[in-house]
Amino acid sequence: MAKKNTSQNKDSDKQKQLKKFTLDPKDKPLTTRQGLKVNDTNNSLKAGERGATLLEDFMLREKIHNFDHERIPERIVHARGSGAHGYFELYESIEKYSKAGIFTDTSRKTPVFVRFSTVAGSKGSTDLARDVRGFAVKFYTEEGTWDLVGNNMPIFFIQDAMKFPDLIHSVKPEPNNEIPQAASAHDTFYDFVSLTTETLHNHIWVMSDRGIPRSLRMMEGFGIHTFRLINGKGEAHFVKFHWKPKLGVHSVTWDEAVKISGADSDFHRRDLWDAIEAGQYPEWELGLQIVPEEDEHKFDFDLLDPTKLIPEEMVPVQLIGRMVLNRNPENFFAETEQVAFLPGNIVPGIDFTNDPLLQGRLFSYRDTQLSRLGSHNFHQIPINRPIGEVHNNQRDGHMQMEIPKGRTAYFPNSLSGGCPYLSTVAEGGFEPYQERIDAKKIRGRSESFSDHFSQPALFYRSLADWEKQHVTDAYSFELGKCDHDHIKERMLWLIAQIDSGLAKKVGENLGMKVPSKIEKPINQAIGADANVKDHQPGKKKNYLDKAPALSQANTKFDTIATRKVAFLVADGFNMKDFDNMKKALEKEKAMVKLIAPHGGTITCDSGMEHKVDASIMTTESVLYDAVFIPGGEKSIKALLTKSKFVKFVDEAFKHCKAIAVTNEGVQILESGNMKDFKTDKAIFQDGKVKEFIEAIAKHRNWERMEVAEKIAI
């Protein structure tokens, strides 16, 4: 009897299994929930390619309606959030552009509630995930509630709301194993990104330091979409909204983010809360980029495309007011968790455009809030209530919290004197902008949306060398977590369309060559044949060599307010050195934290007791912005008995932070792995207080990065 070839049988079984899961595309046509075959799931139905999205688009409503109701009770996206109360003040009236009271009345102090969030993770995920951050502001104006619901990046991943469920499904934990949480470094996300090239601009922002901010107080905010401002004459201007932080825009390194997630996963939430409790109120200035309607088509990109920004070098940002957050919530659930933001909440003087992503959000947000909060009466929850009186004929329903009076609930009526009555435009009644629409119903996308490479290339060109290195490292880490080579090859080819040098470096880190071509280098490669042709990415343009405003190297470096400085001390530390530095730092509104070998208190060389903020075993270097070590022979000897103090300083050096020592404190530096620290521009000996403060304000000494990278921690 012939002996069976076991190896061949195993290979045969494996091939059968692979064949079992390899389906012909014709086996599973995409359908609606009613079995209707779908020929386009990438574009909403519009009045012309650049026209408004139509309410009759049942496919859009079915797709988003299902997506909005997938999970309860936490938000499907932006589940992990932190909030605070504050106010907005206008610097000067812009009645030339808008009749909105918030933009014309400088005597007002408009209450606001702001919610910051990560996008992909669950409520229990870490604050330090590499992710887009939500930046949503609820203005309680006298004319009604206005919600500016944006992010910390000026663009979004997709151009049409029809693609939003696909985007989020790809970045969420993979459904077979619910891995990974709050992370984009996995195959399904990069499979989607590599086949949907419109994502590349927002994606490179996430790969940059913008994806891991130092603090919620140190990041920009953007309205993302192009909106309209309407003045008293009914004239319209296009506008993009910006929030500019007074503290500048700063980030942490990826190595820090990983370690902070373990040391304090609530790092951003705690930072915001502590700053407000300490009276260090975060501030942002509201800026506008205003474009006359007649200039709508003068750019090399489409103003209605939410994956495009307007470079500030082309249209400057006008700063018109400031927002201050000065009060923490009394109850997290009642306020931060129950707050409901709706892009459709606007006031007279502000209106929408035909941006197809914005148009879809106008439907989606109300639908998802209804699902999450359980009732259409969610506007009656205290955090969501407008400050003005509400009068209408809408009645009853689940969780009705008001007691409407009177016998009529219809319009028109005579039994209630015609009340509530309709307001005229002159009385503040809302009137939509009268835009002429004359187009065929079409499920498609304008050719002007097809440029997917120019702006990510501009972004990368505009970065400082250290920022570019961080982008390289981020792509390398993320793609290194993917298992499928064909996905990595597609991504390398696409990165090469942004910058060939960047792609080459990432390829070297992956051990792969950048392909000269790929089989289907197109957006929506798996779409219907008729639409594939329409979605070829356009050729890269260079309409601006660099946009300096895009680089964090050009942010504000003029303050150390709220920066946390770790003082490494033990019994017997030099009180004179300690007090001199502490007073100087606190004068500049920095926060001094005492780190000691143990908790409780320690005693200086003057016999005074000092409360310890954290023992060395309960904290990490990554939680602080700078380090100071006062002298004192007894203190330094005690610190050197615990190796973590040396590691603490080495890690601060590795992350390019400012370090200062006095007298015997230099022994800690000499005991570590730092080479040539005496020539480092951000390491100071002998009490150079002024220079130390200036170095902290610069955020990091990036000149140190090449040397610091060689230190193993």
Q: How far apart are CA 174 and CA 399, in angstroms?
A: 36
Q: How far apart are CA 217 and CA 214, in angstroms?
A: 8
Domains and their CATH numbers in the chain: 51-182+212-384 (2.40.180.10), 452-553 (1.20.1370.20), 557-708 (3.40.50.880)
Instruction: Describe the chain by its helix, strand, coil percentages, rounded to 5.
Output: 35, 15, 45
For residue 226, count other CB atoms closer than 10 A to its CB: 24
Compute the average pLDDT of residues 586-603.
Answer: 97
Q: How far apart are CA 5 and CA 418, in angstroms?
A: 91
Q: How far apart are CA 603 and CA 141, in angstroms?
A: 53
Token digits for 528?
Answer: 């219907």
Query: Strand 683-684 and strand 658-661: pairing?
Result: parallel
Q: How many residues does the chain have?
A: 713
78 is catalytic: yes
- Contact at 8 Å (CB) between 86 and 95? no
Q: CA angle, 72 as apex, 146 and 357 as ends, to 5°?
A: 45
In which residue are the tokens 């470079």 written? 311
In sequence order, what DSSP letters do the residues of 457-523 get, joined into one string?
HHHHHTS-HHHHHHHHHHHHHHHHT---HHHHHHHHHHHHHH-HHHHHHHHHHHT-PPPS--S--ST
For residue 359, count other CB atoms closer than 10 A to its CB: 26
- Return the axis-axis angle of helices 187-195 and 164-171, rounded to nearest 10°: 150
Mean pLDDT value across the chain: 91
Q: Residue 491's closest CA among 156, 190, 157?
A: 190
- SS3 for 531? helix
Compute the average pLDDT of residues 389-415.
Answer: 86
Q: How far apart are CA 44 and CA 364, in angstroms?
A: 13
- Contact at 8 Å (CB) between 111 and 85? yes
Alpha helices in 237-311 (DSSP H): 254-263, 267-277
Kind and range of the H or E run holding 323: strand 318-327
151 is catalytic: yes
For residue 466, count other CB atoms closer than 10 A to its CB: 18
* Among 1-5, 167-171, 696-700, the least confident range: 1-5
Percent of the chain with pLDDT over 70: 93
Compute the average pLDDT of residues 466-486.
Answer: 97
Token digits for 394?
Answer: 């809408």
Compute the average pLDDT of residues 165-180.
Answer: 95
Compute the average pLDDT of residues 688-703.
Answer: 96
Q: Residue 386's closest CA among 402, 371, 370?
A: 402
State residue 137's pLDDT score: 98
Q: How far apart are CA 599 and CA 592, in angstroms?
A: 16
State residue 25's pLDDT score: 55
**Residue 26 pLDDT level (bands cut at 50, 70, 90):** low
Give me the catalytic one of 42, 43, 151, 152.
Answer: 151
Q: Residue 507's closest CA among 515, 518, 517?
A: 515
Q: How far apart are the first and last CA of the chain?
A: 63
Query: Strand 658-661 and strand 626-629: pairing?
Result: parallel
Q: How far apart are CA 231 and CA 247, in angstroms?
A: 33
**Residue 272 pLDDT level (bands cut at 50, 70, 90):** very high
* Among 4-18, 339-353, 498-512, 561-575, the least confident range: 4-18
Residue 21 has pLDDT above 50, yes or no: no
State residue 553's pLDDT score: 96
Residue 5 has pLDDT above 70, yes or no: no
Q: How far apart are CA 428 and CA 536, in angstroms?
A: 46
For residue 203, count other CB atoms closer than 10 A to its CB: 28
State residue 518's pLDDT score: 80
- Contact at 8 Å (CB) between 468 and 182? no
**CA neighbours closer than 13 Å in the CB half-sphere of residue 35:** 0
pTM of structure? 0.90
**Residue 421 pLDDT level (bands cut at 50, 70, 90):** confident
Sorted by sequence, the CB contacts under 8 Å of residue 521 that are 6+ apart come out as 490, 493, 494, 537
Compute the average pLDDT of residues 613-621.
Answer: 97
Kind and range of the H or E run holding 398: none
State residue 228's pLDDT score: 98
Give me the catalytic one of 78, 225, 268, 452.
Answer: 78
Residue 533 has pLDDT above 70, yes or no: no
Q: How far apart are CA 420 and CA 559, in angstroms?
A: 52
**Residue 711 pLDDT level (bands cut at 50, 70, 90):** confident
* Among 89-103, 119-133, 178-192, 361-375, the least confident range: 361-375
- Contact at 8 Å (CB) between 630 and 574? yes
State residue 221's pLDDT score: 98
Residue 632 has pLDDT above 90, yes or no: yes
**Residue 259 pLDDT level (bands cut at 50, 70, 90):** very high
Residue 690 has pLDDT above 70, yes or no: yes
